Structure 1
Amino acid sequence: MPDSKQVDASADAENTVLEVTLKAGKLTAAQKRWLQKGLGQAGGKLPLFDDNGREIPARTIRACIDAGWAEPWFSNPIKPDWLVCKLTPAAIEALSASQKVKKS
């Protein structure tokens, strides 16, 4: 009986790794650029603006939230339409998986 539980656990782990790799393959270039910005920030805070001072498109932010790669952090009372977000553990896994896929 313990052997079958161990096999099930390793199969689940393999499925999780495969799922993360597949999700990482679905990252668009814009999503990947935006999410990578959070890797070097305290708490994984994601920027509201790109390097050129342009606002990150709401479509990119919403897509990342829907995929589980970003989550709203807090509401901005001065600018309630701005989505202040942070990285999720799934985003960190997806970004690292996308690096592994790129190297292969």
Structure 2
Amino acid sequence: MAPTKGPTKAQKAWLARGLAQPGGKLPLFDHNGRRVSTRLVRACLDAGWAEPWFANPLKPDWHICKLTDAGRQVAGAA
């Protein structure tokens, strides 16, 4: 599904953090140690910029994601 508009500043910043990670893994926590908003993660998943990587059996409500090719393009433009 192609996004109809570009990412927000917060979405772009989150996606950009995955560029330097092995496999494009996206962080679960922000720079202040707070969990990244589920709403932000869901918006990026829905836009096709991120995809689920694997399920966390200890924390099934946490979305462990990685960048998609489209996400890398969006993050690279940050």
Corresponding position: 1:49 with 2:41: no
Number of equivalenced pairs: 77
The 5 Å alignment of 1:21-32 reads: 23=5, 26-32=6-12
Separation in 1 of the partners of 2:75 and 2:27? 17
Alignment correspondent of 2:57: 77
Q: Choose the corresponding residue for 1:58, options 22, 26, 38.
A: 38
Aligned residues with identical type, % of pairs: 58
What one-letter code is carried by the residue in structure 2 that aligns with 1:30? A
The 5 Å alignment of 1:15-26 reads: 23=5, 26=6
Q: Which has the higher helix share?
A: 1
Shift of 1:93: 1.5
SS of 1:53's partner is: coil
CA RMSD of aligned residues (A): 1.8
Structure 1 stretches of 5 or more lacking a match? 1-18, 100-104
Structure 2 stretches of 5 or more lacking a match? none
**TM (normalized to structure 1)?**
0.68
SS of 1:39's partner is: coil
Separation in 1 of the partners of 2:36 and 2:75? 19
Shift of 1:94: 2.0
**Bigger radius of gyration among the two:** 1
Alignment correspondent of 1:92: 72
Separation in 2 of the partners of 1:47 and 1:91? 14
Separation in 1 of the partners of 2:63 and 2:18? 14
SS of 1:27's partner is: coil
Moved over 3 A (4+): none
